[in-house]
C-alpha cells in the first residue's frame, strides 16, 4: 500500500491511539516531515529526540537514541508507525531505549532485550478492571472473552496498539495476527477518561515498570489474537471465533 489510507485510519479502532498524529499528514511522511512535528520527548541524558536520515547514523540504532537522541527513520510504513508511537507513548519508548542500553553493556543479547523488542514491535497494552477477563485472556478462553463478555470491551477491558509492526499489519489484516500483551490492572473509572488521558496514565505506568526491570522474559507477554476484539474485523460471526487455527486453546502444561 502506497496511498495514504485516511479512511482506514479514521475508522479502524486499532489506529485510535495514533490517530491524532496521523491526522497531521496526508501522505507517508519521511524523516524530515516527522522532524517538523517537533521532539516527542527527551532521552535519559536529557537530549531532545529527533528523527534523522538512517544513513547519518554512526552507531547502533538504540545507542544512537540513547547517546545522541537521534531516531533513524526510513521512509516506509514500519518506521513511520514507529515515529507515531514515539509521539503517542514517549515515556514507554524512552524507557525501552534505556532498558536496551542497560542490557547491552558487555552482555550478549538475552531474554530481557528479546522481550523488549517483542513488545516494541508487536505489543498491545491491555487495561482491565475485571480479573476474570484477564484470566480469560491468559487462559485463552477466547469465546468467553470475545463473545460472552463482548459488551465489556471499552467498558472493563481495552486493548491499545503499542507495537508499530501491529499498525503496519493492520493496513492489510489477515487471520493469524497476534499481539503480545502488557496487562495493566485499572479500575472502572479508568474507562471514563478521554483516550488521551488513558494513554498518558498507561504510558507512565508501563515506563515505571520497565525502569524497575520488571520486564524479564517474553513469556510475560501473553498472546492476543487481536482481530477478535469487537470491531477489529468485519466478519466476527460464530464461524470466525470457532477457527481454532487462529483462536488457539492454551497448551496443556506438564
Domain coverage including residue 40: 6-109
82/131 same-domain check: no
89/172 same-domain check: no
90/149 same-domain check: no
Angle between helices 111-122 and 90-102 (to 10 degrees): 160
pLDDT tens digits, one per residue of 107-122: 667 999 999 999 999 9
- pLDDT bin (cut points 50, 70, 90) of residue 123 is very high
Centre a 10 Å sphere on the Cβ of residue 160 and count the other Cβ atoms it contains: 23
The widest CA-to-CA distance across the chain, in whole angstroms, is 54
Q: Under DSSP, is residue 107 helix (H, G, I), strand (E, B) or coil?
A: coil
What is the spatial distance between Cα 2 and Cα 77, in angstroms, rounded to a whole number?
Answer: 9
Instruction: Establish how many alpha carbons lie within 13 A of residue 23's alpha carbon, considering only the half-sphere containing its beta carbon.
Output: 9
- pLDDT bin (cut points 50, 70, 90) of residue 196 is very high
pLDDT of residue 53: 97
Question: At 28, phi and psi to the nearest 5?
Answer: -65, 120
**Does 247 reside within a domain?**
no
pLDDT of residue 251: 83
125/217 same-domain check: yes
- Given a contact cutoff of 8 angstroms between Cβ atoms, the answer to whether 186 and 128 are in contact is yes
What is the spatial distance between Cα 141 and Cα 90, in angstroms, rounded to a whole number?
Answer: 33
Contacts of 9 (CB under 8 A, 6+ apart): 15, 19, 22, 23
Centre a 10 Å sphere on the Cβ of residue 20 and count the other Cβ atoms it contains: 14
Domains in the chain, number: 2
Average pLDDT in the 134-154 region? 97
**Does 95 reside within a domain?**
yes
- Which grid cell is 220? 510475560
Cα end-to-end distance, the chain, whole Å? 45
pLDDT of residue 253: 64
- The structure's pTM equals 0.95
Amino acid at each position: 500500500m502506497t496511498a495514504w489510507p485516511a479512511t482506514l485510519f479514521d475508522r479502524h479502532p486499532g489506529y485510535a491511539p495514533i490517530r491524532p498524529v496521523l491526522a497531521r499528514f496526508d501522505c507517508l511522511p519521511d524523516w524530515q516531515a516527522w522532524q517538523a512535528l517537533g521532539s516527542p520527548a527527551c532521552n535519559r541524558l536529557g537530549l531532545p529526540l529527533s528523527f534523522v536520515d538512517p544513513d547519518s547514523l554512526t552507531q547502533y540504532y538504540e545507542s544512537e537514541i540513547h547517546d545522541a537522541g537521534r531516531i533513524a527513520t526510513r521512509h516506509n510504513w514500519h518506521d513511520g508507525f514507529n515515529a507515531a508511537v514515539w509521539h503517542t507513548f514517549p515515556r514507554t519508548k524512552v524507557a525501552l531505549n534505556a532498558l536496551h542500553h542497560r542490557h547491552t553493556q558487555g552482555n550478549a543479547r538475552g531474554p530481557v532485550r528479546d522481550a523488549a523488542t517483542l513488545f516494541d514491535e508487536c505489543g498491545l497494552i491491555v487495561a482491565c478492571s475485571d480479573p476474570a477477563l484477564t484470566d480469560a485472556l491468559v487462559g485463552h478462553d477466547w469465546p468467553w472473552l470475545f463473545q460472552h463478555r463482548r459488551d465489556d470491551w471499552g467498558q472493563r477491558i481495552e486493548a491499545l496498539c503499542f507495537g508499530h509492526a501491529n499498525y503496519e499489519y493492520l493496513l492489510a489484516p489477515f487471520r493469524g495476527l497476534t499481539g503480545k500483551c502488557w496487562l495493566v490492572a485499572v479500575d472502572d473509572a479508568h474507562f471514563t477518561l478521554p483516550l488521551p488521558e488513558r494513554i498518558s496514565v498507561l504510558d507512565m505506568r508501563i515506563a515505571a515498570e520497565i525502569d524497575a526491570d520488571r520486564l524479564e522474559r517474553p513469556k510475560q507477554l501473553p498472546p492476543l489474537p487481536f482481530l477478535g476484539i469487537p470491531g477489529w474485523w468485519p466478519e466476527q460471526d460464530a464461524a470466525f471465533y470457532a477457527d481454532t487455527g487462529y483462536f488457539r486453546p492454551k497448551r496443556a502444561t506438564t
